[in-house]
Chains A and B, each alone.
Chain A
Amino acid sequence: MTLVTLILAAALGTGAHPTPKVVLVKHADFIRQSLTGATQYFVRTVSIGKEDLAAIRKASDFTPADPDVQFYLGQSQDGKSVGSTLFQQVDTPHGPLEVGLAFGPDGAITRADVTTATVETKPWVQEATGAGLMKRFVGLRPGDDPRKALEGMKGQLSGMPEYMAELIATAVGRGQVLYQTLYKGSAT
């Protein structure tokens, strides 16, 4: 009985009940799959300055939660940039949602994927992405409106999946602005 009591005490001895997140695509997998041809990888951390913060706010009416933004870069064997990725999070009443974005050397989006959802939002996200939402972001260039991707989906989604699609478009838009404002040049 003492042993059972101890085990149960250890098992129960905690509080706090967060809504569990669900990793749909691991960051490392997203980077590896998106930066095709890369043999070397780099992480670029940009600490946002006042000028760029003003530019971000002007372009997108949002303030990044974290003053440090990470870009993950890939280089080919001969040192040429094959692109870069970043992960943009948006918070929802149902838990955080994260979108991975990959950009080609020309700045156009080459891949977009929801990398993290929550137990609650996962089925709604999967319904939205299953309807082909993410492919609609591919090819967008800095300055393009990601909400245009939603226009072609009217009638295909309703309720919570449609809400998730709007949040995903918001994350894509914010990621585009961060890329456009903060990402400069190649890895070296």
Chain B
Amino acid sequence: MELYSLREANRSVKLGAMLFLLVLGYAYLFAFLMVKTWSGLTPERVQATYVPAPGMNEMEMPAESRATTQPLDLGKVPEMKHTVDTELLIQDSHIHIMIYAIVAALLCLIILGLGWPPWWRDTMIVAAFATGALDFAGQWLMKLGIGGFAWLTILSGWGMSLVYLIVLYSTARAVVPRLARSAS
């Protein structure tokens, strides 16, 4: 059963859907730059941001402190390493998971009108919600010291972008008749 058809919808509905997706893409570009700058795009850098530092191993610690002194090139002094501790991750989770859910719900409203087969529609709806949840699941698993879950966070980010691009492409075809005709 067709829930509604974006293709047949009022022009204002099409305009709203398309502009929402374009502005969402605009926001995602800056999200990408933010992540690239402060978290990194490789599993190693993502791990370094979220996995807690090993900390003190008092069992293997020598009785006395040891010091080494080396000449310093001021041009190579590292800045503070940006890490996300548990309290900060709670705050990030609280904000982002809620926004992810709202964005996924809005994508669902569009998905419902794209005329997709039910199995594909449901798959994309689940993916829209799951990718956001898995992004933070990966971050929390890393926070528990399981660094391998950097991949989960990165893959869920890719999954989120894939869902977005599929919806964008299908919406463009539905609201711009010329695109639909050229595709067929």
To the question of whether A and B form a pair in one complex, the answer is yes
Interface size on A, residues (CB 8 A): 57
B76 to chain A, nearest CB (A): 8
**Complex interface residues of chain A between 46 and 83 (CB less than 8 A to chain B):** 46-53, 63-67, 72-73
> Is B171 in the interface zone, CB < 8 Å from A?
no
A51 and B160 contact, CB distance less than 8 A: no
User: Are the CB atoms of B157 and A14 closer together than 8 Å?
Assistant: yes
Residue of B nearest to A45 (CB): B68
Which applies to chain A's interface (DSSP): helix, strand, loop or mixed?
A: mixed
Is the Cβ of A72 less than 8 Å from the Cβ of B85?
A: no
Please report whether the interface of chain B is mostly helix, strand, loop or mixed according to DSSP: helix
**Contacting residue for B64 out of A17, A49, A67, CB 8 A:** A49
List residues of chain A with CB within 8 A of the CB of B65: 46-49, 51-52, 182
Q: Check A53 against B135 for contact (C-beta < 8 Å).
A: no
Across-interface contacts of A12 in B (CB, < 8 A): 25, 28-29, 31-32, 157-158, 160-161, 164-165
B-contacting residues, A20-53, CB 8 Å: 20-21, 23, 26-28, 31-32, 40-53
Contact A43–B69 (Cβ < 8 Å): yes
Interchain CB contact (< 8 A) of A19 among B31, B36, B80, B92: B92
Interface, chain A (partner B; CB < 8 A)? 1, 5, 8-9, 11-21, 23, 26-28, 31-32, 40-53, 63-67, 72-73, 87, 89, 91-96, 98, 115-116, 182, 184, 187-188
Which 5 A/B pairs are nearest by Cβ-Cβ distance? A12-B161, A15-B157, A15-B135, A14-B157, A49-B65
